[in-house]
Amino acid sequence: MKIKSLATTLGLVALLSSGGLSPALGTGAEATKKADIYNLGMQVGDRNTDRAFTWYTKKIGEQSVKIAPAKELVGGKLPEGARTVKEEKSGVSIDRARLYHQAHVTGLKANTRYAYQVGSDKNGWSDVYSFSTPKSFATDNGEFLAVGDPQIGSGNGKPNDAEGWNRTVTSAAKAHPNARFLLSLGDQIDTGTGKQYDAFFAPDVMRTLPHMTIKGNHEMLNPVSHIQHFRQPNQKGTGDYWYKDAGVLFIVLDSNNPNWKKHGQFIKDVKADQGRDANWTVVAFHHAPYSSGPHRDDADVKLLREKLPKYIAEADVDLVMNGHDHVYTRSYLLNGDGAKVAGAKGGSKQVKKKGEAIYMTATSSSGSKFYSNKDDADWAAVAKGNKVPGYVGVKAQRCSLRMTAYEVSTTGKRGTLDTFTLTDRSNRGCK
């Protein structure tokens, strides 16, 4: 295995050449039937026909993904002719105890159940997992899920944020079997330790439902670890990236970077390049500019609220999704000045015009940390500090975007927190 430039970044060249590599990594010289695979996750790829895989090992050696239609399994094992895709990136983990691996599988077929495993003949393979692709990649109709801050580790076991996270995403996946992917709006972990990521990747959902993540302020405590655990699709140098599926263009921003001029240009460029065949444009980032929680008064959030709305309006973004504040907030339709659109109401039916957008803040998905809700936010159509873990389900159709915020109790029972439908009569074929 080649240790990529990341080793230089981490100052590990001398460590490797001097034989000072942690003994826990091993040499990989001995063959093993049982693989040491950690934090295996399946993520979205550059296109909706692709999937990305990230995982960790303790033994040095080139790794791959083996994948085949599940119907070709023989006795629960992948066939000898299974497609093998080599890792595209690997290196020493930030804690120097493991190696990270990333692979990108392209050209999957629609309406197909796939089986896969990761590893190598030399060091062993993971268990076999499976996932299904949508009936059609080209459809205008689709569903995705979104979660606010898991922030694994912040609860310090009281409450058990790992259990809360598992319960929330497992409940969501069960209730929405046709969901295309899961979007996590930042602060996946509290400080970025290995144990926190172990808990984040523990739910089986992380290997069967593609996910994509956003870098929150807590990822900045250990930013390299975030980069190693997640492969972001179509990423640019600013940390921003985009993804498109089910007629929705997702533009994801790194709001830890305060250069909103560059972020605005990224939104403009991606919308121009990728938005022609999209019914909806969703911009997502961590820090919530229009929340009803206490972070709304932070200096960085105030700057964001001052600088961002004009770019959102100019690109005719429909929906902005955020985390950070651990309360649920849904704004009125807001214009490019960040002001409430004249006559806008907070009901379940929202009809937008060009340049208008709704901003939504998702509450904690693990229940490890909640904030108190402030009721005096003049932009808030719905503001609820319910202090119950939750997630958001979004159904996208050509003429409507329907969002439902759910809460998940300690027994796994779901309740509805808020629901609304956004329509845009300017979409093709819509009235």
- CATH number of the domain at 120, please: 2.60.40.380
Short-list 128, 19, 108, 136, CA closest to 66 = 128
Q: Which two tokens stand for residue 307?
A: 């600088």
- CATH number of the domain at 324, please: 3.60.21.10
Q: E-strand spans in 27-77?
A: 38-44, 51-57, 64-69
pLDDT at 286: 98
Greatest CA separation for the chain: 71
Considering the domain architecture, whether residues 122 and 163 belong to the same structural domain is answered as: no
Type of residue at 94: I
Short-list 316, 332, 428, 335, CA closest to 378 = 332
In a domain, residue 430? The reply is no
Short-list 151, 251, 233, CA closest to 196 = 151
Type of residue at 114: Y
Considering the domain architecture, whether residues 155 and 55 belong to the same structural domain is answered as: no
In a domain, residue 137? The reply is no
Q: Identify the bridge partners of residue 121 per DSSP, sorted by sequence position.
A: none
From 132, 154, 179, the end of a domain falls on: 132
Q: What does DSSP say about strands 83-86 and 64-69: parallel, antiparallel, or unpaired? A: antiparallel
How far apart (Å, rounded) are the C-alpha atoms in residues 423 and 421? 7
Considering the domain architecture, whether residues 92 and 195 belong to the same structural domain is answered as: no
Considering the domain architecture, whether residues 107 and 203 belong to the same structural domain is answered as: no
From 88, 112, 132, the end of a domain falls on: 132
Considering the domain architecture, whether residues 170 and 83 belong to the same structural domain is answered as: no
Considering the domain architecture, whether residues 127 and 153 belong to the same structural domain is answered as: no
How far apart (Å, rounded) are the C-alpha atoms in residues 287 and 304? 8
Whether 359 and 334 have beta carbons less than 8 Å apart is answered as yes
Beta carbons within 8 Å of 418's beta carbon, 6+ residues apart: 328, 330, 382, 384, 403, 404, 405
Beta carbons within 8 Å of 183's beta carbon, 6+ residues apart: 144, 145, 146, 147, 211, 212, 213, 214, 250, 284, 321
In a domain, residue 274? The reply is yes
Domain count within the chain = 2
In a domain, residue 356? The reply is yes
Q: What is the mean pLDDT of the chain?
A: 90
pLDDT > 70 fraction of the chain, expressed in percent and rounded: 92
From 101, 132, 163, the end of a domain falls on: 132
Beta carbons within 8 Å of 345's beta carbon, 6+ residues apart: 332, 381
pLDDT at 159: 81
Helix/strand/coil for 362: coil
Q: E-strand spans in 198-303?
A: 211-213, 241-245, 248-252, 280-284
Model confidence pLDDT, tens digit, residues 37-83: 999 999 999 999 999 999 999 999 999 999 999 999 999 999 999 99
Q: Which two tokens stand for residue 54?
A: 């990230």
In a domain, residue 429? The reply is no
The segments of the chain whose pLDDT lies below 50 read 1-32
Considering the domain architecture, whether residues 348 and 379 belong to the same structural domain is answered as: yes
pLDDT at 34: 60
Q: Which domain holds residue 39?
A: 6-13+21-132
Q: E-strand spans in 207-354?
A: 211-213, 241-245, 248-252, 280-284, 319-322, 328-331, 349-352
> CA-CA distances (angstroms) from residue 407 to 77, 105, 175, 347?
38, 34, 12, 20
pLDDT at 24: 31
Considering the domain architecture, whether residues 159 and 245 belong to the same structural domain is answered as: yes
pLDDT at 158: 75
Considering the domain architecture, whether residues 115 and 149 belong to the same structural domain is answered as: no
| Burial (Cβ within 10 Å: 0-12, 13-18, ≥19) of residue 35 | buried
Considering the domain architecture, whether residues 119 and 212 belong to the same structural domain is answered as: no
pLDDT at 323: 97
In a domain, residue 284? The reply is yes
Considering the domain architecture, whether residues 49 and 150 belong to the same structural domain is answered as: no
Considering the domain architecture, whether residues 72 and 127 belong to the same structural domain is answered as: yes
In a domain, residue 431? The reply is no
In a domain, residue 340? The reply is yes
